[in-house]
Structure 1
Amino acid sequence: MTGPGLDYDKASLARVYNYYLRGKDWSSVDEETAQAVIRLAPDVPEAARENFRFAGRAAVWAVAEHQIRQVVDIGVGIVNDLPLPSVENCVLSVDPGATVLAFDNDEVVLAHARALRRGYGRVLRGDVTDLDSVFKHPDAVGLIDTAKPLVVILAAVLHFVPDAAAVMAGLRERLALGSVVVVSHVTSTQTSGRRVAGMTKAYDEKAISPIYFRTEEEIRALADGWDIVTPPGLVDVQRWSPDGTYAGPLYDTVRVLGMTVMLPGHLQEQADTPGGGR
């Protein structure tokens, strides 16, 4: 694929992630970056796959548990060729009538989507650092209603954003009470400083965007103004499960933390409503 804005001299975040997930849509420069990271932290591919499973699992929980029928997946990446079910697949398996919209600002993802034109092939241009580009996108008008609760997926996205707290604050301002945001983020907590420095350098030198490792406390602080769903709280993504039925092994060389957060007020509103429900 070629087109304006496409840069094949630098690794694409989406294609590197596709490589970790055992997809087929990556180039030699993406493989070079991915392998530089894997040499430092051999657990990265499996952690990435657990992160992908976490996103689908958390989305299903929000849709089934809270009957939220609109899902916005920001920074969706390239997911059509994976041996894993996408967020969209997972959501539609429990609610075939739900609306799932995908957004990305990566020209590689958008070009791939235009070529595919099926399933998650329809990806709208939107940037997590410019939430109006998502929630006011002309093609999203009539498909999502911000006056009603939404599920927003930010899986492995905020660790590429310098001011992640501003994104979470922006979502608080735009979303209805009862909305759920699914967040996952790499952490420097309990991870070798040498590995963190090496992985940071690999993205700085080879990829189109740097990566920002944050401590567990800094990631938890992103939920300021939100209620963290507990159990399970903020945990390694392979341990995220409100009912405790999903518990994958912990990794030695890299950690990805996950949490779901809800905009407070929904449960009280529901209790105050005659009949106690929607």
Structure 2
Amino acid sequence: MSVLEFVLIALGFVFGLGATAWLTVRYDLRKANFRGERIPSIAGLAFVLAGDFIYGFEWLAGGEASRIFAAYFLTLMGFGILGLFDDLAGDRSVGGFRGHFRALAKGRLTTGAVKALGGGVLSLGAGWLIGDGNLWRFILAAALIALSANSLNLLDLRPGRCLFAFFCGAAALTVVLANVHQLNVGFSLFVAVGMAAILYPMDAGGQAMIGDTGANAFGGVLGVAASVILPPVWQAVVIALLIAFQFWCERHSLSKTIDGNPVLRGLDRKIGVRR
């Protein structure tokens, strides 16, 4: 990583964190958390602003990886906007894919349906950039991005869960990068890991929420990284696992399942505050 890239990351982080803090104070962007405490609710916006500052610069700089940086930029910007829309205007009376699309079938457009439809279009756009004319790669990338974004969003019900899952996914991808000696390919992922490390103490400690803004953004970026780093067979395996997770979450309560299993409950309480 060059000195210029270090400076770019530093500037992006300062911009993202500073702008988010100002917006939170200026417009009192706080919500009640699971304990009923009013805390900042869009901390994840810092990643959207910082990441797109960095990815946008790298994209405009051109080079062999410009299409990949464009995919990161589009994914982060799009999912960030959709998540922010849901954070600010979301209707929590309807939940799950089935709930949102049942409402849509009855003529009621929920913010969740907007996010699902918009996320699908965004995933197709980013997948097209990554596929670069390869139909199979396009399909895999689009599926990975959409499923990763929604999966991390499903986990963001308690402090720390979403970002912990992001760290696990990023660590697995880093191992793959190290084994093929292509750590330079992971620059964009490392940017996301850096911002996640800054936000994690606040999120896990119940001092701020990353919100749908952050959960969708981190998930989408993780999906882009997986589509760039993993071989096609492993991408297909991950997609199958994520689809299974989506269906499972439609029928079960994740929090109740975790609380009912001593091992999962113990791990969950180490991830973030629960009281």
Structure having the larger proportion of residues in strand:
1
Structure having the larger proportion of residues in helix:
2
Q: Higher relative contact order at CA 8 Å, sep ≥6: structure 1 or structure 2?
A: 2
TM score, norm. by length of structure 1:
0.29
TM score, norm. by length of structure 2:
0.29
